[in-house]
Amino acid sequence: MPQFLIVEPAEATLTALAEALDQVDIGILLLDRDLRIRFLNRRQMEMFGLPTELLQAGMTFREMMDRNISNSRNVIPAEDLPAYHEKREAEVRAGTIAPTHIDLNDGTRLLFACQACPDGGRILTYADVSRELRMEELHAMEQINAELRFNNETMEDHAARLASLAEATDESARKVEEAKKALEREIVERRQLEARLRQMATTDGLTGALNRSGFLALCQNELDQRAEADRGMALMMLDVDHFKLINDRYGHAGGDLALKQLVSALGSRIRRGDLLGRLGGEEFAILLPKIAPPEAERFAERLVTHIAASSVTYGTRVIEMTISIGLTMATGTDRSIERVIARADDALYRAKESGRNRVVKDVPVEAA
């Protein structure tokens, strides 16, 4: 029986304890031996978006998880969640679970633990350790970069020493050749690692499109080259119409699936050499080098028609969506890609204001 410094009625003590647990930054869930919810603190309800009537309903741990499938932020696909929840329930029912990580699709990482109670119940805790994870990833990235710099600086010295050893005996020459090949393999592996790191730094993790910084950098390079060669160039800003309604109706998992399918549909339509980027949320941009204004307008209209005719299958439901596009052409005086994007963004705003599911071009569209 817990001992308290102040002797007071048990009801007052339990009330004070519940109020104290509501103030901690860790989600706490107390289950009885049948895995029915006896207590959960405010942080637990906030983490999982749970309603306050859970205790009154006498809900079980499994019912709580099943109820949360539609708005789950878990990285596990929606169709695999029932099996995952069944496995999780079995683990909790089996007894104590050592601290394990649960990753959510918004980048949040939770540290989950289960402790068996003497009366057969369970205490479950969920702690948000996302900040610690980001610090670990940053530290690991810094270590990799430091190793890459060190190895690149010493590669030439190693190669020079290997060349001098080649003048020794046949046996020494054979060993040098083997070492040289190993070094060449290491150089290739290091370059591949650098390429992967560069891709990670410029790619949107959810959709696979270019992220904002990667898109802007490549577009600026295209704009600089276009100014020298005097080639036509179009830029389209587009986003999903009423995307918040999709998120509200199908949950974040459905919204994420819709964005991934949108990028796939756009990627199958753009040309080789075109650039597709996600600038944030449901907002995307496409750069079309070497294109004339009439062709760019027809291209944008075909995209709007194609997306409106497509649909996304989410479980047993179908998600339909449309897009609005703002189109502009780079002019001879453009030197900053942000200036071009601003014009396309203004045209996108007018597309939304005039009814959505359409293309509005920047006026006037200048031929480059």
**Catalytic residue positions, numbered:** 282
Measure the CA–CA gap between 237 and 363, rounded to whole angstroms: 15
Q: Write the DSSP symbol of residue 268.
A: T
Pick the closest to residue 314 from 257, 261, 264 (CA basis): 257
Measure the CA–CA gap between 113 and 118, rounded to whole angstroms: 17
The helix-helix angle for 243-267 and 293-309 (nearest 10°) equals 120
**Sheet architecture: strand order including 359-361:** 275-280, 283-289, 233-240, 323-329, 359-361
Measure the CA–CA gap between 277 and 238, rounded to whole angstroms: 10
> What's the angle, vertex CA 174, arms to CA 172 and CA 178, rounded to 5?
115
Positive or negative: CA dihedral 159, 165, 167, 172: negative
Q: Write the DSSP symbol of residue 104.
A: B
Measure the CA–CA gap between 134 and 132, rounded to whole angstroms: 6
What pairs with residue 239 in β-bridges?
Answer: 283, 324
Cis peptide before 294 (omega within 30 of 0): no
